[in-house]
Amino acid sequence: MIVIGSYVSPYARKAIVALAIKGIAHEVDPITPFYGNDEFTRLSPLRRIPVLIDGDLVLNDSTVICEYLDEIRPDPPLMPQSPADRARARWLEEYADSRLGDLMIWRLFYPRSVAPRVFGRQPDEAAIARVIESDLPEALDWIEAHAPAQQFLFGLLCTADIAYGAFFRNALLAGWTTDPQRWPRTAAWIQRIWAVPEFARTIAFEQAIVTTPFAERRAVLEALGANLSVRSWAQAEPRASIMLKGIAETGRSDR
């Protein structure tokens, strides 16, 4: 299998961690959608990541990918067993993908980390301050009420746990961290997710990406043990796309 998507993307990271937990051999083309070429557009018509290629099968959307992996390799499971808990897990994951995607990615990480580097746009710090002072605390209050006191959401690690851990990594990269005094259950839960070996492995790759010039990243990632695909769907120059138009209209991001 091949995953097209950067380790820094919370959606791609969700799929990559799921593959690792399942023990499914895979390769990664660690690109962001802004650098996807025309063939990438053919595989991902909305120009979003991740993309999973499994032989002739091409899947988009991290949730669809993780559900597919859970069906073809049921053990270890990435969803709880009872129908009620599975429904709750899907809703909690959707909250992360939608609300945290909006706040932590498109209102915090994108303007602070992506737009300046990729498109030369300086962040609106006043707008970011409003997110940090009002919107994020409101979301964290809701998460704190649902965060598990021990272990993970439904005992064993599930896809929803991975999703929250991934978004909080991007918030950290953009300079925001969870206050353990204000949100102690959330802060402890996120640390437990980050410590899962399959998740922790992606943190080393994430750090290599954010600290290494673009032209040197593949070599550095391979030196760290990343199993990268021989083929890449990248192009040299970034371009805006239907993805950004969709974000402007709906607040939804790469899934």
CATH number of the domain within which 12 lies: 3.40.30.10
CA distance linking residue 216 with residue 226, whole number of Å: 14
| CATH number of residue 92's parent domain | 1.20.1050.10
Give the residues across from 3 on adjacent strands.
28, 52
Structural domains in the chain (count): 2
Strand pairing class (57-60; 51-54): antiparallel
pTM of the model: 0.93
Share the mean pLDDT of the chain: 93
How much is the pLDDT for 141? 98
The verdict on 18 and 48 lying in the same domain is yes
In a domain, 149, yes or no: yes
User: Is residue 252 pLDDT above 50, yes or no?
Assistant: no
- 161 and 190 co-located in one domain: yes
CA atoms within 13 A on the CB side of 83: 0
Residues 239 and 178 in one domain: no
Q: Is the pLDDT of residue 225 over 80?
A: yes
Q: 88 and 53 in one domain? A: no
Q: Is the pLDDT of residue 247 over 90?
A: no
User: Whole domain around residue 146: which residue ranges?
Assistant: 83-197
Of 113-117, 140-144, 206-210, which gets the smallest average pLDDT?
113-117
DSSP output for 167-180? HHHHHHHTT----T
Distance CA(180)–CA(186), nearest Å, equals: 8
Q: How many CB atoms lie within 10 A of CB 149?
A: 8
Residue 88 placed within a domain: yes
Q: So what's the pLDDT on residue 245? A: 54
Structure confidence at residue 222 (pLDDT): 96
Within this chain, do residues 142 and 163 fall inside the same structural domain, yes or no? yes
Domain assignment of residue 227, yes or no: yes
Task: Please indicate, yes or no, whether residues 49 and 142 belong to a single structural domain of this protein.
Answer: no
Burial 172-182 (b: 16+ CB within 10 A, else e): bbbebebeeee
pLDDT reported for residue 215:
84
| 27-47 residue pLDDT tens | 999 999 999 999 999 999 999
